[in-house]
Amino acid sequence: MSATKTPKVIYTRLPGWRASALFGVLLLGLVGLFGRAIYLQTFHTDFLKEKGNKRYSRETEVSAHRGKITDRYGTPLAVSTPVKSVWVNPPHVKASAAQISQLARILNMSVGELRRHLFDKKHDYLSLQRHLPPDLADEVERLAISGILLQHEYRRYYPTAEMAAQLIGFTGQDDIGQEGLELSLQAQLVGKSGSRRIIKDRRGQIVEDAGNLSLPKPGKDVALSIDNKVQYVAYSELQNAVNLHHAKAGAVVVLDAQTGEVLALANYPAYNPNNRDHVDAQAMRNRAVTDVFEPGSTMKPFTIAAALDAGKVRPDTLINTQHGVMRIGRKTIHDTHGQSSLTVAQVIQKSSNVGAAKIALMMDRRTLWQTFAKSGFGAQTGSAFPGEATGKLRDANTWRPIEQATMSFGHGISVSLLQLARAYTVFANHGELKPISLLKRDADVAGQAVFTSQTAQILRDMLEMVVKPGGTAPLAQVSGYRVAGKTGTAHKLEGGQYVDRYVASFVGFAPASSPRIIVAVMIDEPSNGAYYGGVVAAPVFSKVTEAVLHLLNIPNDAPLNNVIEPPSDVIKEEV
CA neighbours within 13 Å on the CB side: how many for 102?
15
* 382 phi-psi bin (left φ>0, alpha ψ -120 to 50, beta other): left
Secondary structure tally for the chain: helices H, strands E: 20, 21
Count, residues in the chain: 575
Rg, Å, the chain Cα set = 37
First-to-last alpha carbon distance for the chain, in angstroms, is 140
Cis peptide bond N-terminal to 511, omega within 30 = yes
Find the catalytic residue in 63, 85, 184, 297. Answer: 297
Cα distances (angstroms) measured from residue 537 to each of 57, 206, 262, 371:
64, 62, 19, 26
Cα distances (angstroms) measured from residue 112 to each of 43, 106, 117, 146:
51, 14, 9, 19
For residues 563 and 469, give the distance between their C-alpha atoms in angstroms, rounded to a whole number. Answer: 10
Instruction: Identify each DSSP E strand in 398-483 by its residue range.
Output: 432-433, 448-449
Collapsed DSSP state (helix, strand, coil) of residue 200: strand
96 is a catalytic site residue: no
Q: Which amino acid is at 360?
A: A
Q: Which amino acid is at 316?
A: D
**Residues annotated as part of the active site:** 297
